[in-house]
Amino acid sequence: MYEFNNKPKIPVNVKRRMNIFLLFFVVGFLVIAGRLVQIQILDSEKYIYVAKKQSQSRDIIIPPRGLIFDRNMNPLVSNQYKITVSADPFRIKSPDSVAAILSYIFKRDKNEYLALLDNKNSPNVFLERKSDLQDLNGLDTLKIDGLNIIKEPSRYYNYGSLASQIIGFTDMENKGVSGIELAFNKELTGKEGYLIMQKDGKGNKRPDLSYKQKEPVQGDNIVLTIDKNIQQFVEEELESGVKYFNADKGKVVVLSVKTGEILAMSSYPTFNPNSIKAEDTIGMKNSVISDIYEPGSTFKLITAAGILEENLLSENVIISTDNGSYTVYGMKITDSHTSPSMTFQQVIENSSNVGVSKLSQKLGTERFYKYARDFGIGIYSGVELRGENKGYLKRPVDFTPGSLEFMSIGYQVAVNLLQLSMAYASVANSGMLMKPMIVRKELSPAGQLVSENYPSNIRQVISQQTSKRLTQMFAGVVDRGTGTDARVKGVNVAGKTGTSQRIVQGEYSSSSHNSSFIGYFPVENPVILIAVVLDDPKSGEFYGGKVAAPVFQKIATKILNYAGNNVSTMDFLNVTFDKNLNQQNPGNMDNNGDSKIVPVLIDMDIDNAIDILKERKIKFEIENYIKKDRNAKYVIAEQFPKPDEKISGSEFPVVKLKVKEVSFSQSKTLKVPDVKSMSLRKAINKMVSEGFVVEIVGSGEVVDQIPKPGNEVLSKSKVILFCKNEL
């Protein structure tokens, strides 16, 4: 019997196709499964990150900048919020409508906005920057897709143009562009915060509450040395003087001679950082440090100081002035006040070019250059602001016939006003050249002290005796010489006039001048210095004594009135806070104010002890001081009354001192710290706090020092810091 299989037979080629399909299916399944394993397990963190990036964003919160104060904690700069409007051109569905709305609100041409919205190369274009909140006029309520409205911190300068060249200003990103805003941008900037935002399918954002917001940290505050009121006096009288004498521009600086603090500094024209205009470029410059000029007769200080310090001539010696005309190497030097001869004193009082040029020959090239350099000419002053021009001082090897004579009267040399003012301040400060200061301290947002600057000695240029003799000479200039218009009622003034021809089209012009006056007061105990320069006065008067001296007089009178006719009451005169003037802080009065306390002088260097006694106006006698060797070290061995003894009564007794010469091994020694690579400010603070006196060469980061780190030296020894821009 036969059995038949009725099952249809699958053709071989169909079977093969089915097997291939099954193989592809299995392979595809395995690929997909593997990919899922990779995505879900192996690379899960990566894809979670990508998903979050698409749905989340981290928006930076810009911190408010630190505030800027004057020396009396008057806020000069504060913060406010401004509005920035930006857009994503890809998401703006109706550019024409949006441009029309913006044009209506901000009063700008509609086509300007259309051009910005047509930029498809950027996901974010700025349409308005730093507008006032009230300018929005309801724009923030329209909820236009792709249009972003951001609140940004911005600067507000509380007194407009007041001290604007010192303070500077910030750009659209709130970063410092000039002045203190630039020099201390890092300290003022603060730390950014952020906020995590959740984005929907349309790109709209809202805060993601599952993430904690990181709050921004406000920048540190900066306290300046300037006094707002003195700055106001300066700016008022400078503007008035420039306009009255029809000058192109002018500049003034006011200093505390004992500390080197800048109490006011201004140039005219100026600018208002709250509303900067295209024509404000000139007014933005701080001409006191950035502009250099040939100083003319104010530079006669160098020759006069050198002659007296070297004991070459006395003030009463007669000098032939050739009736005001003297030829040097075929070049004529002339005087405006002619006479056949004058005393040295009269040469300075009458500003005789002939007399000073002859005195410079007595001093000689090498010594003239030494004193000019020691007074800080041709060297950066070290002020904390950027943009200083260090001027120009020829080296002796570069002198040509006549250079000495013409440099002695203020030609063939270029200075900035701050440099020359610090030189005069050193004369007023017993011959000690100070480093200029514009910043007193840095404070945290909570008001805690971060760092503090102390007055810093640079070098002893001339002796105290020479400084007194020079001051008397300069007092004569104001009493009976070329500077009589600088007299101030109620106070004795010392000063020097200056008039120099300006270079016009490559030649000295007899019709274009710089007119200047630098003076300080009171003569008996100098406190304040004021320097004034007016550029190219065209009112008919051009001599410094007739143009700059009256401006000095008006500023000085206002300062004196502000101080209640006693400048000694002003806080910047209290140098006991100064840790770098070789002074301890013995104090004058005990807690109940009824008795005085004798300062501690034992083991102190004799010169430092004398400085303290003179500062306290205490009379003293030294019983056995014979200075045999100028390099010898003398310290106080005994004193009477004894240290810290309380003295009752109105009159303080004469303090009697005995000194002893000590060797290096007998003296207290200190190990010199390493301050290389530190900022100059931090290096000074460290050296001062450890008991050293600092001399600075250059400015910026410290690159070298003498003595070297680790050396043992006497307490209160000088350490020289060499900084980046001058080694």
SS (H, E, C) 154-177: EEEECCCCCCHHHHCCECCCCCEC
Helices and strands in the chain: count of H runs, count of E runs: 20, 31
pLDDT at 5: 55
Q: Which of 593, 551, 642, 654 is nearest to 243 (CA)?
A: 551
pLDDT at 575: 38
Strands 125-131 and 147-157 turn out to be unpaired
pLDDT at 392: 95
How many residues are recorded in the chain? 727
pLDDT at 87: 82
3-class SS of residue 361: helix
pLDDT at 677: 84
Q: List the chain residues with pLDDT less than 70.
A: 1-12, 38-56, 133-134, 199-210, 568-600, 603-605, 607-608, 611-612, 615-616, 625-633, 643-652, 662-669, 681, 685, 688-689, 693-700, 712-718, 724-727
The pTM of the full predicted model, rounded to 2 decimals, is 0.72
3-class SS of residue 143: coil
Average of per-residue pLDDT values in the chain: 84
Q: Which of 235, 293, 268 is nearest to 513 (CA)?
A: 293
pLDDT at 105: 82
Q: At 279, which amino acid appears?
A: E
- Residue 693: beta bridge partners? 718
The per-residue pLDDT for range 235-265, each reduced to its tens digit, is: 999 999 999 999 999 999 999 999 999 999 9
The per-residue pLDDT for range 646-687, each reduced to its tens digit, is: 565 556 678 888 888 765 445 566 788 888 888 776 777 677
